[in-house]
Chains A and B, each alone.
Chain A
Amino acid sequence: MDREVLLKIEGLRIEGRAGDGWTEIVKGIDLTLHKGEVLGLIGESGAGKSTVGLAAMGFARDGCRITGGSILFDGIDLRQAPEAERRALRGKRIAYVAQSAAASFNPAHKLIDQYCETPVVHGVMARDKAEQDAIDLYRRMQLPDPKGIGFRYPHQVSGGQLQRAMTAMAMACRPDLIIFDEPTTALDVTTQIEVLAAIRDIVRQFDTAAIYITHDLAVVAQAADRIKVLLRGDEVEEADTRTMLDAPREDYTKSLWAVRSFARAEQPPATSAPILSVQNVSAAYGKVPVLEDVSFDIHAGRTIAVVGESGSGKSTAARVITGLLPPSGGAVVFDGKPLPPALKGRTREQLRQVQMIYQMADTALNPKLRLRELIGRPAQMYLGLTGRALETRIRDLLDLIELDPDTYIDRLPGELSGGQKQRIGIARALAAEPKIIICDEVTSALDQIVQEGILKLLTRLQGEFGLAYMFITHDLATVRAIADDVVVMQKGRVVEQGPKAQMFAPPHEPYTELLLSSVPEMDPDWLTRLLESRASVSA
């Protein structure tokens, strides 16, 4: 591509404050972006991708400082330029789309008001023109009801729509460069496709250059012209998307590719009686029904994956099993005996048998308690361990989840990485010595390499203790990797269920088909083909 260079970063070095001193988190990155080009930045957490993305705007987060290198944006040196000049560029010529649109929108203002702020403040257009423009962009982003959606508040639209509205907002001043920071990571597969397609189209329509930050290779392959792989603040390699996918040079890049290949050995179909069975359960929040006539069985030593998009009722099913939401009909039977419907009616022994691991380890671990107490409490409470026996048990549990007891036993959750926190969640569940562990989207907040570690750990523990897992997820790659049985849910009902092999082989129910086809593949043409085939089916 012989187009004009838009952004040129050379030898970028950024330091982050760590304790008393500074450590280098970006170690001399070069980056060149031409007009209208999309560059994918890939790496696991802590690789420095977001930091580089922000630096492209001449910005460093609190606690970070740019210490070396140059950032040239269209001839302007962003490191030397005064703050006022940089601020004039932001939003107008360089825009930013954050990972969580839900957290980035101001909940107190309507979408269109937030849209109009940037162009009006920068003096690009007047308010009424900006509103017209917003509606036009909402239409191009294929948002439903483009005329009306802007007049809603952020909590009144879905996550996928919000992410598209955010992209539209970034487009408001027709910037030369947009930085997308993990824009689809928090979305489920079917929504991810819509957002991804919308982002790709709009960037092409306006010939905008973009930096697309993600840890999901298959996603970036659909949108990027070139891909740059980062590892701990260093560049690993950079190449055209096709070259990178077909022939990665470095071992690290190959390992990124290989993550999705993890799969557990197949197990023979279940023969024993189920350890827990959900029988014709219906449930409602107030008057809103969320589960209708749901039945499935959980067997000892096996993993059942419950799949469906947000709002399909899969987490509600878990709440019914744990007793947080008493069902309005049906029953949960554990080991042949029905469990009391409400949490309060259950004995301590019944509570011990079913443990839960949460999606967000950040909110699932009390930030003020040390690991000793976090893990020790269930052991103390259910098994009556005290003193030395308790200490030994805590250390054994830390060993089980591959964290060194001497280093970690007195740490607070805030002193751990995301993957380590999730391991503590697992240890806390194990401490109760349960028969069943419910894993609610346990890997979806983690990047792929960490995900793989967690999945391997869970699989190993299952083999050691004969645990039954109920794995709630929207990620079919995870299902393929570790499930024995699959339940597909949609709108509070079970659409299809059966052993994994049967579920992944045609023929499928239409909804299962939709979910399966939505999993991104490592092929730059996958999205184009998929959209074409869907269009031809509906035509």
Chain B
Amino acid sequence: MGFAASVILGLAALFAIAWALRAAARATFSGQTRSLAHDIPLTASFGLLVIAIYTFVAIAAPALAPFPEREIVGGQFQAWSAEHWLGTDRIGRDMLSRLIYGARNTVGIAFATTALAFVVGAILGLWAALVGGWLDQALSRFVDALMAIPALIFSLLLLTIFGTSVLTLILVIAAVDATRVFRLARAVAQGIVVMDYIEAAKLRGEGSWFLIRREILPNAMAPLVAEFGLRFCFVFLAISSLSFLGLGIQPPTADWGSMVKDNATLITFGDVTPLLPAGCIALLTVAVNFVVDWQLHRASGLKEQ
């Protein structure tokens, strides 16, 4: 039971740190940042803290990891020890190091993919809502057609055609996800483009790019940010399932999804090690969703005052 206890203790410690940081932020900042710090629930500050830690680990991976990512440094499936804190994997690579590098690969790729999907999907969606007419029809029907194909099968098809480099992986998943973002951005923007301030800006002679960037986007930001968090988790899962099917991140690159699969046999021996990468995914997903909930709350105007 030592393991379960340490997990609970670890989570409690994270919550305590998050609480302390929030209190510190309330005390130090002034103005808008302060009211934001005042507004933020404990869960969201926990989420932000976890995201910050993941980001730090991903960036500083080479400095943090005790062993290189791809080198065989010991025997197969060694138990946890002072040298290999989390033991070794199927072919004798250090688990902890691969877990740390996995943050870089999995989170990095997921982030790049989601960001790309959002830039493309949001801009096209806002543009379609703003211009309307045939452009809206053309883009929307095209997106409908893409969405009609099951996402996983469509990605598999594209990856088989274009090969499985990291770049194509990012582009393919981004293309699939951009369709969902497009629908959301378009729906949100349709409620905004009918406002008088958009008419006022059009009367001023503003171009489409200004209207999208300065007039519509700030008002569509909250739902888009919330959707970003959800999409990020979905992309995570998509990459993991593609890796599992052998078309995702290719070995020997460390990736949490394939690490679960590779070491799954250990579970039968009562060893929790293969669950650690899954736990990393779960923790990040929960953290992201905490932040998303907070954003949704802000967007829906449910906050007090």
Contact = CB atoms under 8 A, between A and B. Distances in A.
B196 A367 contact: no
B305 A17 contact: yes
B17 to A, nearest CB: 25
Contact of B204 (A19, A63, A324, A381): A381
A373 B200 CA distance: 14
Interface string A337-353: 00000010010100100
Interface in A334-375: 343, 346, 348, 351, 355-356, 358, 360, 363-369, 373
Which DSSP category, helix, strand, loop or mixed, fits chain B's interface? helix
A34 interface: no
Contacts of B202: 324, 343
Contacts of A214: none
Contact of B203 (A356, A360, A365): A356
A358, A373, A377 — which one has the most chain B CB atoms within 10 A of its CB? A377
B250 interface: no
Given A364-B197, A367-B219, A369-B214, A17 B304 contact: yes
A351 B203 contact: yes
Contacts of A346: 205
A367 B222 CA distance: 13
Interface residues of A, number: 28
B199, B201, B218 — which one has the most chain A CB atoms within 10 A of its CB? B199
Interface in B264-305: 304-305
A322 interface: yes
B215 interface: yes
Interface string A164-190: 000000000000000000000000000
Nearest to A368: B218
B219 A324 contact: no
Interface string B200-224: 1111111000000011001101000
A368 B203 contact: no
Nearest to B222: A368
A344 to B, nearest CB: 9
A364 B198 CA distance: 8
A432 B206 CA distance: 13
B26 to A, nearest CB: 11
Contacts of A432: 204
A363 B203 contact: no
A355 B205 CA distance: 11
B219 A368 contact: yes
B200 A63 contact: no
A63 B218 contact: no
A322 B197 CA distance: 15
A324 B203 contact: yes
Contacts of A360: 196
Interface string B93-124: 00000000000000000000000000000000
B157 to A, nearest CB: 41
A425 B203 CA distance: 14
A48 interface: no
Given A17-B304, A17-B305, A63-B305, A366 B197 contact: yes
Interface residues of B, number: 18
A34 to B, nearest CB: 38
Contacts of A351: 203-205
A36 interface: no
A356 B199 CA distance: 10
Nearest to B221: A368
Given A343-B202, A366-B219, A381-B204, A63 B304 contact: yes
B195 interface: yes
B150 to A, nearest CB: 34
A390 B200 CA distance: 20
A58 interface: no
Interface string B12-31: 00000000000000000000
B204 A378 contact: yes
B196, B202, B214, B219 — which one has the most chain A CB atoms within 10 A of its CB? B196
A360 B305 CA distance: 22
A381 B205 contact: yes
B305 A364 contact: no
Contacts of B200: 356, 358, 364, 428
Contact of B215 (A348, A355, A366, A382): A366
A348 B205 contact: yes
A344 B205 CA distance: 8
Contacts of A377: 204
Nearest to B35: A19
Contacts of B197: 363-366
B134 to A, nearest CB: 16
Contacts of B218: 366, 368-369
B195 A363 contact: yes
Contacts of B221: 368
A62 to B, nearest CB: 8
A99 B154 CA distance: 53
Interface in A38-71: 63
Contact of A363 (B196, B215, B304): B196
Nearest to B220: A368
A366 B204 CA distance: 14
Contacts of A324: 199, 202-203
A444 to B, nearest CB: 14
A343 B201 CA distance: 12
A363 B219 CA distance: 12
A356, A360, A364, A366 — which one has the most chain B CB atoms within 10 A of its CB? A366
A363 B195 CA distance: 6
Contacts of A367: 219
A355 B203 CA distance: 8
A88 to B, nearest CB: 28
A63 B304 CA distance: 7
21 contacts: A63-B304, A63-B305, A324-B199, A324-B202, A324-B203, A343-B202, A343-B203, A343-B205, A346-B205, A348-B205, A355-B203, A356-B200, A358-B196, A358-B200, A364-B195, A364-B200, A366-B197, A368-B219, A381-B204, A381-B205, A432-B204
Pairs A-B, 6 closest by C-beta atoms: A368-B218, A364-B196, A363-B196, A366-B197, A351-B205, A358-B196
Given A365-B197, A368-B221, A381-B206, 18 more contacts: A17-B305, A19-B305, A63-B304, A63-B305, A324-B199, A346-B205, A351-B204, A356-B203, A358-B196, A360-B196, A363-B197, A366-B214, A366-B215, A367-B219, A368-B219, A369-B214, A382-B204, A428-B200
